[in-house]
């Protein structure tokens, strides 16, 4: 069998070669030749308290960001980055630090081990059409549901369009685990957590896990924050 536009080659002579993966870090959706383990934002930021499911700010849609390039927006992003690292997260939405703005940060690998780092302001999530959509059931947790993990179906591809903190347009594409991250954080900005995608029984199980493990999780976060001198 051959693809459109190719000349058929006898099977014994034909070798399929997989395209090599570009392992460079993707910063704001674009590859960079080098990048530090701890982003500059996290070096500058101050740790904030992570909100917990049940708090009102997590249950309502966030407001659009209307002012770009401000010191306040930059400081919020810095704080969100260091808070995400202290909590050992792959992404963090603004309402998870008590701020109801349409903004999230991320530092997340995809299924090929490529690291994706950045922030998105006023993001709009785009998923594949239903006919071309592939759902993957995989384990998912949330920094606002500390200590709980449950299996959640998500599409294996996602695109998010938005802006950076200075108002420049961004398009970020994700596959695998990173696509899951983009969908998870986009859910936060419309007032949902992954618990809203669970059955009643699974939601009850997740909340029970949280009650059993939350103090241990909080202790680990405090220890990590102390290690960073925050």
Read off the tokens for 101.
Answer: 């703005």
Structural Rg of the chain based on CA atoms: 20
Active site residue 112: no
What does each C-alpha distance from 44 to 65, 75, 82, 168, 205 come to in angstroms?
22, 8, 8, 22, 38
DSSP classification of residue 49 = P
Region of residue 98 (phi > 0: left; psi between -120 and 50: alpha; otherwise: beta): left
Cα 193 from chain centroid (whole Å): 13
Choose, from 129, 185, 215, 216, the residue flagged as catalytic.
Answer: 185
- Which residues participate in catalysis according to the annotation? 185
């Amino acid at each position: 069998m051959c693809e459109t536009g190719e000349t058929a080659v006898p099977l014994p002579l034909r070798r399929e070669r997989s395209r090599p993966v570009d392992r460079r870090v993707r910063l704001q959706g674009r590859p960079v030749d080098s990048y530090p383990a701890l982003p500059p934002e996290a070096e500058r930021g101050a740790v904030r308290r992570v909100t917990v499911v049940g708090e009102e700010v997590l249950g309502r849609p966030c407001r659009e960001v209307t002012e770009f390039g401000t010191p306040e927006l930059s400081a919020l992003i810095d704080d969100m980055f260091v808070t995400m690292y202290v909590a050992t997260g792959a992404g963090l939405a603004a309402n998870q630090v008590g701020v109801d703005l349409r903004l999230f940060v991320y530092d997340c690998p995809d299924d090929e081990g490529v690291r994706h780092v950045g922030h998105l302001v006023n993001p709009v999530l785009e998923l594949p059409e239903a006919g071309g959509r592939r759902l993957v059931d995989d384990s998912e947790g949330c920094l606002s549901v500390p200590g709980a993990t449950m299996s959640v179906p998500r599409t294996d591809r996602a695109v998010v369009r938005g802006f950076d903190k200075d108002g420049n347009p961004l398009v970020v594409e994700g596959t695998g685990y990173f696509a899951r991250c983009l969908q998870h954080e986009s859910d936060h900005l419309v007032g949902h957590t992954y618990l809203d995608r669970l059955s009643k029984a699974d939601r009850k199980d997740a909340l029970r896990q949280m009650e059993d493990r939350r103090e241990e999780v909080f202790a680990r976060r405090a220890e990590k924050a102390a290690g960073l001198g925050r």
